[in-house]
Amino acid sequence: MVTFIIILVCIFYHPNKAIIKKNSLFSQTEKIKVINKNNSNFIHLNQRKYNLPFHPVKIRAIDNKIFFIDSGFLYSIDLSDLHYQIKKIQIPFKTNEIISLTIDSVDKIIFLLDKLNTIYTYDLKNKSFKVYARTLPIKNKIEPQYIDIYYSDKLYILDVAQNKIKYFAHNIIYDLKQPRVNLAETVDIYNEFSKTFILERGNILKLIFNNKLESFLIAQNTDRYSYLNIFSNNNLKNIYLSGGYNGNIISVSKDTKKVIGNYYIYENNTLLPVYDLCIIKNKMIILAGNYLVVHDKFKENEFNNLKATEKNDLLSESLNKSKLKDFIVPIDNYSSLLPTYSSVYPGSRRLYRYGVHEGIDFFSDPTGSIVVDQTTPVIAPKKGILIRIDKIYHEMSINEHQNILNSCLKSFTTSPTNINKLRGRQVWIKHNDGVITIYAHLSQVNKALSIGDQVDKGDIIGYVGNSGTTDGVYKTKSGMHLHFEIHINDSSKELEYYLGKYLTIEETMQIYRKILN
């Protein structure tokens, strides 16, 4: 039986009070509880300290039970159980990386969202799962990309691809009436009665009310990462923003529309990243680093009028502790700019093959400022050893390509064998500490290179193409791009852990921008 204990190493801090020292924390245990797994200081087993790439991504609570998502799975903790057992709830379906959850507290139903837009329900009363909604490929139309879900009076869905906030009513999906608003850079939503709050990349918070759009928070600190999550409920006076690698939570008054508080979580003197939070009754429950922090007797006005800020770059610190540093962009044309739209990043849906995108795509920029074609060289982003280089490559036939796609749709997944074929002509480089990078859809490779050769940062390893794609199969020159993947801590031939697996697309974008900056 796995048990939990209270450990005395985490500090809940806000700037108007002295830091609670380790030796005085014992007297504060009625306010601070840190749940610890297997005496390892981890609530998450697969990460060392709070380094990339894995951590829990979402947490919600109902009654006295906590539910959170970690590595694509659903877990629960009963706070009334003094042993604080973590229970893994088995989902009886093949899922594609669960990344979000929300709870209908009236009917006692948990809604789960995966990266292929599939929504599942878990009935807390009879402990049963159902597939609530599944998105299938749509020909000649923009396919939806669900980023998050939220339940208040009904289930709301954020669809950044179709630029809509949607909702379910009587098992039918509808578009929420809204003013003209660009949702392409929206990372989370919160709905309260007739008000919809929108959190955008760049720490911009907007409000839709009475079919009017108002922007009422732009973060002052331009060096901060974008917050990724909104939390509030009808009983709270404030909205709480968390996520990203800022190491804090900020509270915003719904009435005055001003930032009124900063929350920081420390382990001894080390600032921890805050991934998500929820508030239920008088408890604020926080995912921070490896820890689940339960702040008892929480009061909203306790942290008013705080002005202090931290400027620690937690993402850079984490990357420096891992081996995900000193990379350059693998294509010269993008040396000073990365794509801004989420659909080309790891974690975005690929409904045509019913799979999840595992890399970042570098296309020509729609404005024409960046041109990518078969003459564009692909370069090694870091020193490493070649472990694959496709000098000989034969493009698939149209029938073979279609049979692969049919197989994917039939099984609701893309097998490792099929994804390998769909990458087309490839080069693989093995870097230090188990990091492998993949360069796909190439038109040709550097024939002077062979398996086992060392390549240095900036060496040309091939040229952009469209091999393995529908355009390549039909022998057109359309769709030329580089598909670039980073795989981490993985010696598996099937490359199980791509950078961004089990993380939200927005967080993955933050990581890629930092790595390739």
Q: What is the mean pLDDT of residues 447-462?
A: 96
Q: What is the pLDDT of residue 488?
A: 85
Q: What is d(CA 165, CA 494) in angstroms, rounded to the nearest whole number?
A: 36
Q: What is the mean pLDDT of residues 187-209?
A: 88
Q: What is the pLDDT of residue 277?
A: 93
Q: What is the mean pLDDT of residues 152-157?
A: 92
- Whether 3 shows a pLDDT value over 70: the answer reads no
Cα 114 from chain centroid? 11
- Whether 252 shows a pLDDT value over 70: the answer reads yes
Q: What is the pLDDT of residue 310?
A: 53
Q: Which of 474, 451, 470 is nearest to 461 (CA)?
A: 451
User: Omega before 53 cis (within 30°)?
Assistant: yes
Among 47-51, 75-79, 96-100, 258-262, name the one with the lowest average pLDDT: 47-51
Q: What is the pLDDT of residue 321?
A: 74
Alpha helices in 189-343 (DSSP H): 314-321
Alpha helices in 203-354 (DSSP H): 314-321
- Whether 23 shows a pLDDT value over 70: the answer reads no
Q: What is the pLDDT of residue 24?
A: 25
Q: Could you tell me if 192 and 234 are in contact, meaning their C-beta atoms sit under 8 angstroms apart?
A: yes
Q: Which of 101, 219, 226 is nearest to 513 (CA)?
A: 226
Confidence of residue 51 (pLDDT cuts 50, 70, 90): low
Q: What is d(CA 414, CA 422) in angstroms, rounded to the nearest whole number?
A: 10
Q: What is d(CA 289, CA 56) in angstroms, rounded to the nearest whole number?
A: 9
Confidence of residue 72 (pLDDT cuts 50, 70, 90): confident
* Token output for 449: 């290179």
Q: Could you tell me if 3 and 85 are in contact, meaning their C-beta atoms sit under 8 angstroms apart?
A: yes
Residue 307 φ/ψ region, left for φ over 0, alpha for ψ in the -120 to 50 degree band, beta for the rest? alpha
Most confident of 91-100, 246-255, 382-391: 382-391
Other Cβ atoms closer than 10 A to 461: 23
Confidence of residue 356 (pLDDT cuts 50, 70, 90): very high
**What percent of the chain has a predicted confidence (pLDDT) above 70?**
84
Burial call 178-202: b when 16+ CB within 10 Å, e when fewer:
beebebebbbbbbbbeeebbbbbbe
**Amino acid making up residue 511:** I
Q: What is the pLDDT of residue 158?
A: 94
175-191 pLDDT, tens digit each: 988 888 889 889 999 98
Q: What is the mean pLDDT of residues 438-450?
A: 97
Between 333 and 325, whose confidence is greater? 325
Distances (CA, A) of 286 to 56, 121, 206, 291, 491: 11, 24, 24, 8, 33
Q: What is d(CA 71, CA 501) in angstroms, rounded to the nearest whole number?
A: 8
Most confident of 244-248, 285-289, 298-302, 450-454: 450-454
Confidence of residue 56 (pLDDT cuts 50, 70, 90): confident
Q: What is d(CA 482, CA 152) in angstroms, rounded to the nearest whole number?
A: 42
Q: What is d(CA 117, CA 25) in angstroms, rounded to the nearest whole number?
A: 43
- One DSSP character per residue, 400-426 reads HHHHHHHHHHHHTS--HHHHHHHT-S-
Q: What is the pLDDT of residue 223?
A: 52
Q: Could you tell me if 184 and 162 are in contact, meaning their C-beta atoms sit under 8 angstroms apart?
A: no
Q: Could you tell me if 320 and 50 are in contact, meaning their C-beta atoms sit under 8 angstroms apart?
A: no
Q: Which of 268, 242, 239 is nearest to 254 (CA)?
A: 239
- Whether 6 shows a pLDDT value over 60: the answer reads no
Q: What is d(CA 390, CA 9) in angstroms, rounded to the nearest whole number?
A: 51
Report the relative pairing of strands 270-271 and 274-280 from DSSP bridges. unpaired
Report the relative pairing of strands 436-440 and 482-487 from DSSP bridges. antiparallel
Please, what is the average pLDDT of the chain?
Answer: 82
Q: Could you tell me if 516 and 328 are in contact, meaning their C-beta atoms sit under 8 angstroms apart?
A: yes
Q: What is the pLDDT of residue 225?
A: 81
Between 307 and 319, whose confidence is greater? 319
472-482 pLDDT, tens digit each: 999 999 999 99
Q: What is the mean pLDDT of residues 31-45?
A: 44
Q: Could you tell me if 179 and 190 are in contact, meaning their C-beta atoms sit under 8 angstroms apart?
A: no
- Whether 271 shows a pLDDT value over 50: the answer reads yes
Residue 117 φ/ψ region, left for φ over 0, alpha for ψ in the -120 to 50 degree band, beta for the rest? left
